[in-house]
Structure 1
Amino acid sequence: MSRRQVLQTVSGLVLGLFVAVLAGTVVSNALPRITADLGAGQSAYTWVITAELLAMTATVPLWGKLADLFDKKPLVQLSLVLYVVGSLLAGFSQNVETLISSRVVQGVGAGGLTALAQVVMAAVIPPRELGRYNGVFGAVFTSATVAGPLIGGVLVDTPWLGWRWCFFLGVPFALLAIALLQRTLDLPHVRRRDVRIDYLGAFLIVGGVSALLIWVSLAGKHFPWASWQTAALTGSGTLLLAAALRVEARVPEPVVPLDVFRHRTVALTTVASLLVGVALFGGTVFLSQFFQVALGKSPTVAGLMSLPLVLGSLLASTVTGRLVSATGRWKRYLVAGAALMTTGLALLATIDADTSVVPLSLFMAVLGTGVGMLAQNLVLAAQNDVRAADLGSATSVLSFSRSMGGTIGTSVLGALLAHRVTAEPAAPGGGDTAQAYGTATADLFLWATPFALLALLAVLFLRETPLKTTTSTERLAAEEGEKGAEADQGARDDSARHLLPL
């Protein structure tokens, strides 16, 4: 592929990743209007978000394994088509049942885009050059996460658009991504006759993950944390995942090859990604609410106040990516990023309803800078360490860990935030709601800080290895060649042993 084709391919993948992340965040401010228009209750309010998140997170490992077995180009296009179909069905929904079902389709497509975008990148760009492009991916991921609620609020408040455009908005971007990838993405066909899909392992993984995701999404809202529902969901989820581990250890083509966790880098980056998800999503997803309730800002102004976080991530990920590509060194940036993320969360733990815009913006910029240096380079370190044949599975495991961590962080910290706001005593002289949200949000960042600190510890134990200078496609061809040579040598040895008595 020429450099122009690579840039166009990256543009298509960036558009796909943007709409995938946006799908999970853009509806948050629009949900009250959606449920009112469709005549739905509180349970539907929750499931409109949970259904998409559940489908996306649970299917990420499956998409990653499919990328190791089949052609990547039709897979990423299929995920984009599923996203478009789900979005159109959601936008035209006339009842809440159709809306929730379409969100599942949308989530499956988003899961494919989340897993496959970075796998395809590694197939056309060697790790040594991948840093500069990963910086763009990191910035897009953070931007879509933070800007989603703002975009949703603006669409709902615009009379000639409305909530349905929360779903229609990503369709033209997804169609453009399909066109760009069709024109420019040129990958060799994967010809494997011995493909065996691990259906049982896939079923057990999706079932176990779904049970745990439903628990963390609904506990504290629809039933107490200490309840029979908690025992049933956690027990069934744990049993299903334990059975999945047993199956994955025995089948020839596991959905998640357990061998990848023997790599120290993959194991530690997986743990770090989970912790980053908890700290980042659990901390930042409630910033818009803090700006509006505690500081009294409009939805549009609240979105603009998030810009220091987005710009910090954009600048840090772009500069760090170029430095990684130029020097081939990556661990120092992971350590610095984790340290800055921890510092940013600790600083945000000091805010309240009286904090001025300047220090608040500075604290967010520190957090954004840390996230920009850390998030995507964790993927780069893991991709550089595994066999090309397992690259899809390893990449999807990291994406899954970050999404799972985000779900846990949002649900658990959100429940703690709601409890803290309710328990906060009314301040004399009025203004109690703003002060309660200010204090509760600061506590939320304080609770998120230890998770970032644990991510820093995980990163410190990583062993830095030189970045490879060949793409995963070239590495896969070399691995297949070595496997063929070993098979030929084994056949010759068998023939020699057979002829020896003569």
Structure 2
Amino acid sequence: MVADDVDRVLRRGGGPVMASVAESTTAEDSRLPTRGALIAILAGLGLGMFLGALDTMIMASALRTVADQLHGLTLQAWVTTAYLVTMTASAPLYGKLSDIYGRRPLYLAAILLFIAGSLLCGLAQSMYQLAAARAVQGLGAGGLTSLALAVIADISPPDKRSKYQANLGAVFAVASVAGPVLGGFFAGSGEILGVAGWRWIFLINLPIGLAACLLVALLLKVPAKRVQHRVDFGGAITLVLFVFPLLVVAENGREWGWASPLSIGLFALGGIGLVLFLLVERRVGDSALLPGRLFRNLPFAMVNMVNFLGGIGVFAGLALLPLYLQIVKGMSPTAAGLLLLPQSLATTFGARLSSPLMKRFGYQPVLAGGMVVMTAVFAVLGQVGLDTPLWTMVLLVIALGLGLGVFFQVILIAIQDSVPETDIGLASGLYNFSRQIGGVAGTAVFVSLLFGIAGDRVGEQFEAAGPQVQAALSDPAVMSDPANAALAGQLHAQGTVDLNDTSFLAQVDERLAQPVLVALSSSLNTVFLIVGGFLALSVVIALLLRGRGRTAESA
């Protein structure tokens, strides 16, 4: 770095080299924006990162309401996975494209894509339209974080770079705190300025995104050093071809039949996508989205497996906990968002706590400990029910937050320590990849599994219903209510009830709602336990890792 060269020459006494280095330093300084412009640029970058981070968190407490109003609660996995798939596939491409074409145009393109996707989300009239719009959002979100960090490296002096990056890192903590609360507020509002409250979850992104776009467009004038790369478009396309058909089967396989021609066709398409992806990655070598030589490194592969399994736990918690609170416990979206607030605060505390623990013990026992906490929380969630007190849920979300904070912080150190120092940059670039893939797969599979199990258990609960339920079904006064009559009609025709819109639970007779709530609660218990099993496997793998960690010393 230039600053280091200057210090070295000064210690040697200057001389002719000093003038050359000084000229280089002056040239480098002339490329950097003024302090005021730098702060404004950082604000623009921070707003962009805030949009991407907030959009994942804000949906956690709002998705049930959104899905009910669009009559597609059982389709909610599409909305989450469409965003995650496109974000995951596009993120590695932004870095290489920005090296070729410059950071500024790519960052502006990412923001504009995100804004366009947000507008389409706000206008969506069905869950499928919302999922397609979320895919557009994900294409933009893939560049918001990676490009922001790259821009900071371009425009800030080396001695200030880590400070600025750390400040932008705080954006995630703010988003994790604000997201569930804002999501609950908007989802719980009837209308705001004549527009359904839940649509503002997406429409609020428009002014924030435009402000970020304006700041970056006007002030980011520093030319970046452009480097030619081979961009792995083929890898991104074949990755989507591999992942997306399998997610569609996971979403609809139970309804279609796992051995139906459509399911088999999509399994085959996913298999073809996997073969093509592996062939493309092998052909492009180190330019690949997932360089094969890294994954032939056993420690790196093991750490990424922990990251993948941890991603299942992270996103399963985001998707399933709000469903339990809002459906089973009957909480409003705002109240559910507020109850999740301690988890966000505990995540921040867990991340801070992990650094001194790593310095003392190394990353391996700390990582394993964080995964143990997450596993234990899901094991306990497998026992909660209709009568579980809210204070128990508060303790559980705090414990989950602590585990998540440790996991987020330590897994990056573990990834960096699992490769030679020459590959740390490349490995760090894949930090989010395996976790997001775990989140994509976990959300699709477990939400679909939840409603698949619940559909059967609702019918079983009504078949085994006691005299109170039978009395309600045969009471003319109860059946005169259209909501009760509709539920009874579904039971008679289908042997179960339609769970695409669970708002009927607040309208029907309490005796008729009870079997549905019991079925949903027990189905959630089953899924929570399965998630806990995957996290238990991550504990075993984490315990097999070896080494104190060279990067843990500087964590």
Instruction: Give TM-score scaled by structure 1 length.
Output: 0.76
Alignment match of 2:515 (pick from 432, 441, 464): 432
Confirm or deny that 1:401 pairs with 2:434.
Answer: yes
Structure-to-structure mapping, 1:148-227, within 5 angstroms: 150-156=184-190, 158=192, 160-162=194-196, 163-178=198-213, 189-193=224-228, 195-220=229-254, 222-227=255-260
2:370 maps to a residue whose letter is G
Contact 1:86 1:103 in 2 (8 A): yes
Q: Shift of the alpha carbon at 1:389?
A: 8.3
Residues 50 and 343 of structure 1, relative CA distance in 2, 3 Å threshold: closer
- What residue number does 1:84 align with? 115
Q: Higher Cα Rg: structure 1 or 2?
A: 2
Contact 2:61 2:183 in 1 (8 A): yes
Confirm or deny that 1:453 pairs with 2:536.
Answer: yes
Structure-to-structure mapping, 1:51-450, within 5 angstroms: 51-63=82-94, 65-66=96-97, 71-72=102-103, 74-92=105-123, 101-113=132-144, 116=147, 136=170, 139=173, 142-143=176-177, 146=180, 150-156=184-190, 158=192, 160-162=194-196, 163-178=198-213, 189-193=224-228, 195-220=229-254, 222-251=255-284, 253-321=287-355, 329-383=362-416, 394-395=427-428, 397-422=430-455, 423=457, 424-426=460-462, 428=466, 429=468, 430=511, 431-450=514-533
Residues 216 and 464 of structure 1, relative CA distance in 2, 3 Å threshold: farther
Query: RMSD over aligned Cα, in angstroms?
Result: 4.3
Q: Shift of the alpha carbon at 1:249?
A: 1.7
1:106 maps to a residue whose letter is Q
Q: Shift of the alpha carbon at 1:452?
A: 1.0
- What residue number does 1:466 align with? 550
Residues 421 and 208 of structure 1, relative CA distance in 2, 3 Å threshold: closer
Amino-acid identity (%) = 29
Q: Please give the per-residue CA displacement for 1:178-222, whole angstroms capped at 9, x wherever unaligned.
A: 4666689898723324x33334333322322222333333333x5
Return 5+ residue gaps in structure 2 as ranges: 1-31, 469-510
Q: Please give the per-residue CA displacement for 1:50-80, whole angstroms capped at 9, x wherever unaligned.
A: 5434433333343355466664554344322
Partners of 2:376 and 2:100 in 1: how far apart? Answer: 42
Partners of 1:442 and 1:449 in 2: how far apart? Answer: 10
2:225 maps to a residue whose letter is V
Partners of 1:332 and 1:121 in 2: how far apart? Answer: 33
Q: Shift of the alpha carbon at 1:94?
A: 7.7
Q: Which has the higher contact order (CA 8 A, sep 6+)?
A: 1
Partners of 1:268 and 1:188 in 2: how far apart? Answer: 39
Contact 1:22 1:148 in 2 (8 A): no
Partners of 1:256 and 1:155 in 2: how far apart? Answer: 43
2:529 maps to a residue whose letter is L
Q: 3-state SS of the aligned residue for 1:251?
A: helix
Residues 298 and 460 of structure 1, relative CA distance in 2, 3 Å threshold: same
Q: 3-state SS of the aligned residue for 2:461?
A: coil
2:535 maps to a residue whose letter is A
Residues 91 and 98 of structure 1, relative CA distance in 2, 3 Å threshold: same
Moved more, 44-53 or 450-459: 44-53
- What residue number does 2:490 align with? none
Partners of 1:272 and 1:34 in 2: how far apart? Answer: 37
Partners of 1:460 and 1:136 in 2: how far apart? Answer: 30
Q: Shift of the alpha carbon at 1:355?
A: 0.9
- What residue number does 1:21 align with? 56
Q: Shift of the alpha carbon at 1:83?
A: 0.4
Q: Shift of the alpha carbon at 1:240?
A: 1.9
Q: Shift of the alpha carbon at 1:374?
A: 0.3
Residues 173 and 335 of structure 1, relative CA distance in 2, 3 Å threshold: farther
Q: Please give the per-residue CA displacement for 1:16-63, whole angstroms capped at 9, x wherever unaligned.
A: 432442576576234357647xxxx89998765554344333333433
Q: Shift of the alpha carbon at 1:425?
A: 2.0
Partners of 2:374 and 2:77 in 1: how far apart? Answer: 30
2:256 maps to a residue whose letter is F
Residues 364 and 50 of structure 1, relative CA distance in 2, 3 Å threshold: closer
Partners of 1:387 and 1:68 in 2: how far apart? Answer: 24
Partners of 1:250 and 1:457 in 2: how far apart? Answer: 34
Contact 2:74 2:448 in 1 (8 A): no
Residues 80 and 285 of structure 1, relative CA distance in 2, 3 Å threshold: same
- What residue number does 1:484 align with? none
Partners of 1:451 and 1:122 in 2: how far apart? Answer: 37
Residues 461 and 63 of structure 1, relative CA distance in 2, 3 Å threshold: farther
Residues 174 and 285 of structure 1, relative CA distance in 2, 3 Å threshold: same
Q: Shift of the alpha carbon at 1:386?
A: 5.3
1:202 maps to a residue whose letter is A
Instruction: Give TM-score scaled by structure 2 length.
Output: 0.70
Contact 1:9 1:185 in 2 (8 A): no
Return 5+ residue gaps in structure 1 as ranges: 471-502
2:231 maps to a residue whose letter is I
Partners of 1:122 and 1:342 in 2: how far apart? Answer: 37
Partners of 1:345 and 1:46 in 2: how far apart? Answer: 20
Q: 3-state SS of the aligned residue for 2:90?
A: helix
Q: Please give the per-residue CA displacement for 1:280-323, whole angstroms capped at 9, x wherever unaligned.
A: 32244122221222222222222222223222213212443576
- What residue number does 2:10 align with? none
Contact 2:357 2:366 in 1 (8 A): no
Q: 3-state SS of the aligned residue for 1:297?
A: coil
Contact 1:353 1:438 in 2 (8 A): yes
Residues 265 and 185 of structure 1, relative CA distance in 2, 3 Å threshold: farther
Residues 275 and 26 of structure 1, relative CA distance in 2, 3 Å threshold: same
Q: 3-state SS of the aligned residue for 1:350?
A: coil
Q: Please give the per-residue CA displacement for 1:375-426, whole angstroms capped at 9, x wherever unaligned.
A: 2432343246557986675445442322222222222222332233331524
Between the two proteins, the alignment pairs up a number of residues equal to 464
